[in-house]
C-alpha cells in the first residue's frame, strides 16, 4: 500500500511538473494558455492559414507573453491582457526593436496581436483597444526584383553548372523544379508539395495548385516544363506511387526547399547573377515578363494566386521602371 501511495505521489508530482512546464512555454496563466490554443485551432481550421504562418504567429505571441511575464513579474492572465495600455504594448515593441528586429517583423507581430485580441472579443472573453491604438511601423517601399529573361533562362538551365558531379536524375529534377517556378509562376512550396498524380505529364497543359491558405488555382504548363518533368521521372531511380511527392531527395523523401535554394546559390555564383536571383525571383520574373508582353493584370493576379490586386500591382512599378530605362536609353532627346 505504501509502495502504491509512493507511486501515486510520484505520478502526481510528474503531472504537476508537466502542468508547470506547459505554462513557461508561453509564460502565461492557464486561462490565456487555453485561449491561445483555441486561437491556433481557429487559424488552422477556419482561417486555413499556412502552417509556417501559424508558427510565426505562435512565436510572436509567445514573445509578447514572455515580455509581459517579466514586465509585470507575474504570469499574464486574461485580466492582465485586457487591462494593458498602449504604452505597455509600445514597451514590448521597443524591447524587440532594441534586439534589432526589423520593421516587417514588428508589423507582423502587431498584426498577430490584433488578430488575437479580435478573437478574444468575438469569443466573449473581453475587449481591449490598446493594440489598435499602436500604429504599424513604416515599412520600406520595395518592389519585386525579377531577372531579365536571359538571366532567368540561364538560371533555370544552370543545374549542371551548379552541381557538375551530381547524378543525372538529380540534375533533371532540379531543372524540372526551376522550369516549373519560372514557367508557371509557382512558389517553391507549391511546386514541392505536388504529388505524382498531379504531375503535368501525358499531354496535360494545366496544373491545379494549392497555395496560401489552402486556396487552389489552375495554372498553365508550358511544353518545355512538361518535357522537363517527364525527363526527370524517366531518370528517377525511385518507383513513385500516385500519392508520393513528385519531387524527391536523394533519400527518397519529399525534396526540401533548402536543396533548391543551395543549388540556385551555386548557379548564381557560377553565372555571375545578383544575390536577388532566388527561387522566388523566378516567380517574380514570370509575372513581370508576362506583364511586359501585354498580359492583363487581373489574369496575372489569378495565375499567381494573389488574394488582392494591390499585391499584383507591384509588378506594374517594375515594368514602368524598365520602360523608363529603355526610353532614356533609346530616345534621341533623353
* Residue 109 and residue 163 in one domain: no
Angle formed at CA 289 by CA 285 and CA 291, multiple of 5 degrees: 120
Give the CATH number of the domain where residue 78 resides. 1.10.150
Q: The domain containing residue 109 runs over which residues? A: 21-122
All three cell numbers of 215: 486556396
Q: What percent of the chain has pLDDT over 70?
A: 81
* Residue 107 and residue 174 in one domain: no
- pLDDT (0 to 100) of residue 270: 82
* Residue 157 and residue 70 in one domain: no
- Distance between CA atoms of 228 and 234, rounded to whole angstroms? 10
Give the CATH number of the domain where residue 269 resides. 1.10.443.10
- pLDDT (0 to 100) of residue 311: 56
| Catalytic residue numbers, as ranges | 187, 212, 280, 283, 306, 315
- pLDDT (0 to 100) of residue 271: 84
Residue 306, Cβ neighbours under 10 Å: how many?
18
Please say which residue of 279, 297, 326 terminates a domain.
Answer: 279
Residue 197, domain member (yes or no): yes
How many separate domains does the chain show? 2
Residue 318, domain member (yes or no): no
Question: What pLDDT, in 10s, does the model give residues 29-50?
Answer: 899 999 999 999 999 888 878 7
* Residue 158 and residue 255 in one domain: yes
Question: 329: pLDDT confidence band, cut at 50, 70 and 90?
Answer: low
Question: What pLDDT, in 10s, does the model give residues 84-104?
Answer: 999 999 999 999 989 888 888
* Residue 153 and residue 275 in one domain: yes
Residue 331, domain member (yes or no): no
Q: How far is CA 279 from CA 7, 36, 187, 228, 238, in A?
A: 56, 34, 8, 17, 25
Mean pLDDT of 176-191: 91
Judge whether residue 6 has pLDDT over 50: no
Contact present, 171 and 160 (Cβ < 8 Å)? yes
Please say which residue of 256, 279, 302 terminates a domain.
Answer: 279
- pLDDT (0 to 100) of residue 309: 58
The alpha helices in 99-248, defined as continuous H runs, are: 103-122, 149-156, 159-162, 168-184, 188-192, 223-235
* Residue 155 and residue 275 in one domain: yes
Q: Comparing C-alpha atoms, which of 262, 79, 42, 241 is closest to residue 174?
A: 262
Question: What pLDDT, in 10s, does the model give residues 270-318?
Answer: 888 888 888 888 888 888 888 777 777 677 777 777 666 555 555 555 5
For the chain, give the mean pLDDT: 81
Question: What pLDDT, in 10s, does the model give residues 120-142?
Answer: 999 999 999 988 888 877 765 55
Residue 106, domain member (yes or no): yes
* Residue 115 and residue 176 in one domain: no
Better-scored residue on pLDDT, 321 or 116? 116
Phi, psi angles (nearest 5°) of residue 182? -80, -35
Amino acid at each position: 500500500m505504501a509502495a502504491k501511495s509512493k507511486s501515486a505521489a510520484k505520478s502526481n508530482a510528474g503531472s504537476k511538473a508537466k502542468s508547470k512546464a506547459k505554462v513557461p512555454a508561453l509564460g502565461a496563466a492557464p486561462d490565456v494558455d487555453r485561449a491561445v490554443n483555441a486561437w491556433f485551432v481557429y487559424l488552422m481550421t477556419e482561417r486555413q492559414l499556412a502552417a509556417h504562418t501559424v508558427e510565426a504567429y505562435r512565436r510572436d505571441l509567445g514573445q509578447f507573453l514572455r515580455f509581459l511575464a517579466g514586465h509585470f513579474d507575474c504570469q499574464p492572465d486574461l485580466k492582465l491582457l485586457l487591462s494593458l495600455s498602449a504604452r505597455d504594448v509600445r514597451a514590448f515593441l521597443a524591447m524587440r526593436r532594441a534586439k534589432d528586429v526589423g520593421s516587417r517583423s514588428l508589423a507582423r507581430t502587431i498584426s498577430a496581436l490584433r488578430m488575437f485580441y479580435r478573437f478574444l472579443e468575438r469569443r466573449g472573453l473581453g475587449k481591449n483597444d490598446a493594440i489598435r491604438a499602436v500604429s504599424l511601423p513604416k515599412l520600406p517601399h520595395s518592389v519585386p526584383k525579377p531577372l531579365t529573361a536571359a538571366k532567368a533562362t540561364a538560371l533555370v538551365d544552370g543545374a549542371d553548372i551548379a552541381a557538375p558531379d551530381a547524378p543525372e536524375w538529380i540534375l533533371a529534377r532540379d531543372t524540372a523544379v526551376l522550369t516549373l517556378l519560372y514557367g508557371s509562376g509557382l512558389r517553391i512550396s507549391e511546386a514541392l508539395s505536388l504529388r505524382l498524380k498531379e504531375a503535368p505529364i501525358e499531354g496535360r497543359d494545366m496544373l491545379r495548385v494549392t497555395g496560401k491558405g489552402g486556396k487552389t488555382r489552375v495554372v498553365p504548363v508550358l511544353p518545355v516544363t512538361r518535357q522537363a518533368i517527364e525527363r526527370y521521372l524517366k531518370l528517377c531511380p525511385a518507383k513513385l506511387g500516385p500519392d508520393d511527392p513528385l519531387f524527391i531527395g536523394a533519400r527518397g523523401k519529399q525534396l526540401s526547399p533548402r536543396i533548391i535554394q543551395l543549388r540556385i546559390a551555386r548557379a548564381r555564383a557560377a553565372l555571375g547573377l545578383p544575390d536577388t536571383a532566388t527561387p522566388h525571383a523566378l516567380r517574380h520574373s514570370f509575372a513581370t515578363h508576362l506583364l511586359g508582353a501585354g498580359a492583363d493584370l487581373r489574369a496575372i493576379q489569378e495565375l499567381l494566386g494573389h488574394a488582392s490586386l494591390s499585391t499584383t500591382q507591384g509588378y506594374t512599378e517594375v515594368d514602368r521602371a524598365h520602360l523608363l530605362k529603355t526610353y532614356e536609353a533609346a530616345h534621341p532627346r533623353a
